Structure formats: structure tokens, C-alpha cells
Chain A
Amino acid sequence: MSWQGKILRVNLTSGEITPEPLNMEWASDYIGERGLGTKYLWENMDPKADSMGPDNVLIFATGPLTGTSASTSGRYAVITKGPLTGAIACSNSGGKFGAELKYAGFDLLLVEGRSEKPVYLLIEGDEISLASADKIWGKTVWETDEWIKKQHHNPMLKIATIGIAGERGVRYAAVVNDLHRAAGRSGVGTVMGAKNLKAIAVRGTGGVRVKDPQRFMQVTDEMKNLLAKETGGLTKYGTNAMMDTMQEFGGLPTNNFQEVQFEGYDKIDAKAMLKTDDTGHTNLLTNKACFGCTIACGRIAHIRKDHFTIQNRKEYWHASGGLEYETAFAFGPVVGVDDIDACTFAGYLMNEHGMDPISFGVTLAAAMELYEMGVITTEDTDGVELKFGNAEALTVMAEKTGKQEGFGEILGMGSKLMCEKYGHPELSMTVKGQEFAGYDSRALQGMGLGYATGNRGACHLKHDTFEVDMDDQTGEGKAEPCKTSQDWTAAVDSSGLCMFTMGAWGAPEFAAQLDAGCEGDWTAERLMESGERIWNLERMFNLAAGLTRADDTLPERLLKDPAPSGTAKGRVNELDRMLPEYYDLRGWNEAGEPTEDTLGRLGLS
């Protein structure tokens, strides 16, 4: 019932826009959002297709609970074949865009083909059209948002757009919605740019109904109370509270993963954001919720007006999205920078130009190592000294990459292609071509297994092994929690709700809300089984795209160079020990392929 029962197919080559009924059988097997989008992708494209070509398909999918009053109900996912990895890419986002799409009457948008000229898709109630993007091609995310609202005299439009980075082929371009929320990872914005689709603007005035309203209101109220008890830290400090934990543990990747602890961590952590400096400036202004979210972990910050980054640029003297843990990591330790205003400004630039901060930061870190080794010099880098710790190098390169100018064109390739270009592939801190998040897998063994087997490449969000990783720093007993949490996270990512609720809600809590909201007789068991089905379908997509067991690996630095300090001092990641056990638990053969039995059990034969 909480489904609208309708999807929109948009063919950019022909310009045809066709509503279709939602395939309810698929919704029942794949839940929604990530899972359902994966199924639609699988059924609508050849996994071997060029990710940047017209045969790639780009899907925007909501979940069954998106747009309901369940807490954190603003999620949607973008699913496509990713240009960084050549594997399936699935990146989800909050803000208000996803719920708006549902209110406009669509559970999912499927975009195929390639427009000859830049266009944007406008959905205003029943009026749906592709309009010329001539006037906004070359504009930033923020300019585009403003222009479209003015052009249509509708400040209520919710807009998901790419910036200049996505237009010009930065391999890790993001889709940014509502100014500073993003489907940030895996280059989903790059695919949008390759299709000549600048933006999607939506205004929905319809409603979402639930299957059993009385039960739904009761259970979602109970769940909100439970959440409030468990997530106070996220509300107050945001995700950047993690920085202190990782520093202490020795899992904070520093200077392109050469170190695992960072001296300047306390200048950019959550407490630093709350601190008032001697001029009376406090980085953090307030916290902010995505649609429906009663946690509100989002940060709204501002930069000191006398800081070198913006002192002569009044256009940045406003508040905007502030540092979260991953942005603080990617502009901080991994590039050796401890200047909170420079980090915050780099975050602004990522949103403004539409880029993944993690991939950008980790690519810049590799460039800095190349620079310090003497492989590249100021002649390559437009005169900028790319030394670890150089805050100006961070912000100048963020802008150059966003606008694809000078050395920014090289950084826009991503760490893997860039390091190969300079003959040092070993410096690329990636799996399947996608850069690591802010957790070192010598200290966190299960995290390493999750990275290595991640269907979209290195990612910290598709499994959850923190607890076991912090308890024990060997490879023992990590395969099972990695596998189980991958399946579980796949289910959570398919619900329309946010994974930051996972500390308070387990499978029974999700199932209770889903079952009151929509048809499908949802139980904890069905959710887990669906999650496993989703994980395996993603794997099948990757195998069909040409990936193999050899892609389930980590860079040598993490497998051979022992952690230099911290609680894991002397350790490397024990992937060789964990991976066979993991394949076995998954019901995959030695080549990492699901066996016939496994496929049969999951209904994937």
C-alpha cells in the first residue's frame, strides 16, 4: 500500500516518457530501493555495456517506506553500472528529493539512452517533460537548483542534479539533491552526465497511504522512541564522533594509508566543530534532519570569514553542509590536513560541483605521495606544492577538479587510473577502482573483508563488523558477521529508511514497520533472505560484467605493510584467511561464483 504502484521510464534517446505499473512481484522479492533498483537494472541492461554509453541504465529508486512518517523515511538510491569500477554502483541519499518523487506518484525512475543535447527532467504533478538544459549546462549544483526553481516559479520543487564535475566526466561525480545531500559514491553522477541529463526536478502533491494505518502509527511511534534512546550521540556530534574512536584505536588512515593515526585529529573532530575560537567563531551552527528523520545527524557549518579560502570570496560567506566523519577523514588525515575551515570549504566545493569527497580525498592523497616521491612535480601540478598537510593544496585542487581545470583533470580520473598513469598502481588505495573510506583494514579486519568483497568496490556502508573488529584484531570469526551484515544492510538499504537507525533497530523492528506499511507479509526472516538475494544479484551483475575473484582483494600496502602504530601495530589484513571462509558461507565456489544450489535457494536460477 505504501507503494504508488507506478514507475516512470524515460528514454533520453527518443525523448519518450512512459509510466508503467510497478512490478509487485519484484517488490516482494527485492523489498524496494537498492534491491528493487538492482532487479530493474538486471532486467533492463547488459552488464557488459559501457558505463558511459547509451546502453547503461540509470535508476532512481525509492523504498516502500520512503515518504511515510516512519523515522528516516527520506531515502532513495541511484543504481547503475559504475564508471569507477565497471561494477554495479548503488549510492543512496537523504534530503527531501526521494520522498517528493513518491509524492509525485512514482516509486522508481528508469532512465535509458542518451540525449543528444543537455536536458533536465521536470515532474510537476501530471506534467512531465524533458526541457533544454542549455542555460544550466556548465552551472554548479547550487546555481542549477536556484535557476530551475525560478524558471518554473516553483520554490517547492525538489532537485537532484549534477555539477560541472558530472558534466565533464570526473569518474566519481555525485548526484546532489537539496543542495547538500548526495548519492555521493561510485560515480552515479558521472553516468548522469554521460547521458546529458543535468537534473531531475520534482514537485509531488499526492499522498502516500499505508496498509494498516493504526498499526503503522503505533509501531512507528514506538520505533521513534527507541531510536531517541539510542542515537543521542549522533544528534549532538554527528558521525564525526568516530574520528576520536579511530584515532585511539589506530584505524584512522593517514597520509594515503602510510600511517594509521593522525596528530592533528583533534583540530577537525566533532569536538573541534563545537568549539568557539578566540574570535568567537564556532564551526558548527546547527544540526539538520533529512526528510522524516528524528535523529538529525546532518551538520550545518560555516567558515571563518578571514580564512584564506574565502576571505575575498563573499559568495561563500553563508552556512552550508558541514563535516561528517567521511568528509573529515577525506580532507583531513588521509591528506594530512588539520585546518577545519579548509576541510569545511572543501566540503562546500564537493556539494557545489557534485563530487564524492571520499574518492576525491583519497585520490589527492595518492597524488601527494607521488609528489613527495618525486614522481610528479610542480610542473605537473600547476605550481601547487602537493605535500601532505598543505591545506591550500586541498582546497585549490578540490576546485580545479570540480571545474576540470589543470591538474584537476588528472585527479578526476580517480586514484586507480591516476596511479597507473604514473606507473605506481600500488599507491592506489582502492578496491575494484573505488577508494577506501576512513577505516584502516589492518586495525579492522572484518572491514577489510567487507571492502574486498564490496559489490561497488571499497565501501564502509554495505556491511557492519565494527563490534567484532574492535573486540579482536585477527581474521578469525570475521567472515560470518561480514556476510550476515552485508545481507542485513542490503535489506535496510532497500526499505526507504536510513542505516543510521541500525544501532537501535534490528530485523524485527524493520519488519514490524514494513509489514504495517505495505503488503508482503514482512518478517525478520523474509527481510534477511531478501537481503541475501539482493547481495547475490549484485554479485551476478558483476560476474556478468566481467569481474572475477581476482577483484576481491586489497592493495598490497594493507596486506604486506604492517600497521606502524596503534592497537594493531605490526598487523596486516588477513584477507587470505577470511576470503575462502566467506565464499564457503556464501555458498559460492572457489571462483567466487554462486553455486546452482545457492541460486536455487534464493530463487535466482
Chain B
Amino acid sequence: MHRMLHMEPSLCTGCLQCEMACSYEHEGEFNPARSRIRVFEFEHGRTSVPYTCTQCVEAWCMKACPTAAISVNTELGAKLVSPEACVGCKACVSACPFGTIEFNPVSGKVDKCDLCGGDPKCVSACPTDAITYVDAGASGVGRMQASAQQAAQGGAS
């Protein structure tokens, strides 16, 4: 099954536990600046939106990389950066339309979400289920169902 990280901003409280879990997993420390997932706030905190790499099937970053440092984990669909091959040229950073691959000034390489080998730590850290790891072929079903319910109620009134 092709799975993906599904974000539900309406459930996000902006606590940043996901950022801490991500940085701890990848860096061994709590450091939101090095987290591969980020939460953004809008209108004085009315909405908090978690955001990370969506693992494009035809990934801009992978195509832009001149040293073939980005490869696909075929089982997970995750795009992985090889630190040995990455030369820190940032071509992928420019190429990514979503900004979800970032240059790390400490390592001189780029960082991106790797789905934690199939057990994404942001998911288990989220206290409100705003981030879930679900079947990519059915990730919209929840919202579709909610919209259908709204439509039905609208029709009934």
C-alpha cells in the first residue's frame, strides 16, 4: 500500500510536539529549526497548519539533483537523500515547489522527510491526530464524507 502523511489543520493546536519528535529522531535533540515537518500559524493562531514533504511520485528534487543523491524507497515511496552523495548545491531546494526540502547549514547537506522508515514519529507524537499516516489512495475520504454530510444536511433544511 502506498501510504502518506495526512494533515488535518482543523485538529492542529500548534503544540509543535511533531517538530520535536522529528528533530529528536533525526538529530538526537529537540530542535524545531531542524525538523522536517513544520507547523505554521495564521491569523493570531486561528489556524495552525502542519506541513512537510508529500513525497511526489515524480519528484522535482530528485530530477534536479546533479549527483543522483536523492533516491526512492520503493516500498514507502519516500524520497531519501544520501548524505554521502549530496554536495549541498541546493538545486533541489530551488526546484521543490513546496519548500519542503531544506538546506542544513550545520551539515552542509539537505534535509527532508524520510517517513522514518515507515513509522513516522510526528504521527505518534501528535496528541490530537492532526497528523496521520494513511492509505494514499483514500486520504481524501474523510473530508469527502464530511462534505457529503454537509450537502445532505443542506438539502434537508
Contacts from A to B (Cβ < 8 Å): 67-69, 71, 96, 99, 103, 156, 179-180, 204-210, 213, 217, 224, 228, 285-294, 296, 298, 300, 302, 318-321
Contact = CB atoms under 8 A, between A and B. Distances in A.
Contacts of A298: 45
A434 to B, nearest CB: 28
B44 interface: yes
Q: Which 7 A/B pairs are nearest by Cβ-Cβ distance?
A: A207-B29, A207-B31, A289-B15, A319-B46, A205-B33, A289-B13, A296-B13
Interface string B98-129: 00000000000000000000000000010110
Given A286-B47, A302-B46, 16 more contacts: A68-B30, A69-B17, A69-B21, A69-B125, A99-B32, A180-B44, A205-B33, A207-B23, A217-B24, A291-B15, A293-B15, A294-B17, A296-B15, A298-B45, A319-B44, A320-B45
B75 interface: no
A292 B45 contact: no
Contacts of A292: 15-17, 20
B27 interface: yes
Contact of B31 (A206, A213, A302, A319): A206
Given A217-B24, A288-B45, A67 B15 contact: no
A1 to B, nearest CB: 10
Interface string B9-48: 0100111110011011001111111100000000111111
A209 B33 contact: no
B110 to A, nearest CB: 16
A205 B107 CA distance: 13
Contact of B44 (A69, A179, A209, A290): A179
Contacts of B24: 69, 213, 217
Contacts of B29: 207-209
Given A292-B16, A294-B15, A294-B127, A300 B30 contact: no
Given A180-B44, A224-B127, A319-B44, A209 B28 contact: yes
Interface of B: 10, 13-17, 20-21, 23-24, 27-34, 43-48, 125, 127-128
Contacts of B44: 179-180, 300, 318-321
B20 A286 contact: no
B112 to A, nearest CB: 17
A156 B31 CA distance: 13
16 contacts: A103-B33, A179-B44, A207-B23, A207-B27, A207-B29, A208-B31, A209-B29, A285-B46, A286-B47, A289-B13, A290-B15, A292-B17, A294-B15, A296-B13, A300-B46, A321-B44
A288 B14 contact: yes
A210 B23 CA distance: 13
Contacts of B15: 289-294, 296
B94 to A, nearest CB: 18
Given A69-B20, A291-B15, A294-B127, A180 B45 contact: yes
A322 B127 CA distance: 22
B46 A207 contact: no
A319 B47 CA distance: 10
A303 to B, nearest CB: 12
A391 B101 CA distance: 51
B46 A103 contact: no
Contacts of A179: 44-45
Contacts of A205: 31, 33-34
Contacts of B32: 99, 103
Contact of A228 (B33, B48, B127): B127
A302 B32 CA distance: 30
Contacts of B13: 286-289, 293, 296
B33 A204 contact: yes
A291 B23 CA distance: 15
A320 B42 CA distance: 10
B21 to A, nearest CB: 7
A285 B44 CA distance: 12
Contacts of A291: 15-16
Contacts of B14: 288-289
Contacts of A217: 24
B127 A319 contact: no
Contacts of A69: 17, 20-21, 24, 30, 125
B50 to A, nearest CB: 13
Contacts of B27: 207
Contact of A207 (B16, B30, B45, B127): B30
Contacts of A294: 15, 17, 127
B30 A286 contact: no
A179 B31 CA distance: 22
Contacts of B34: 205, 207
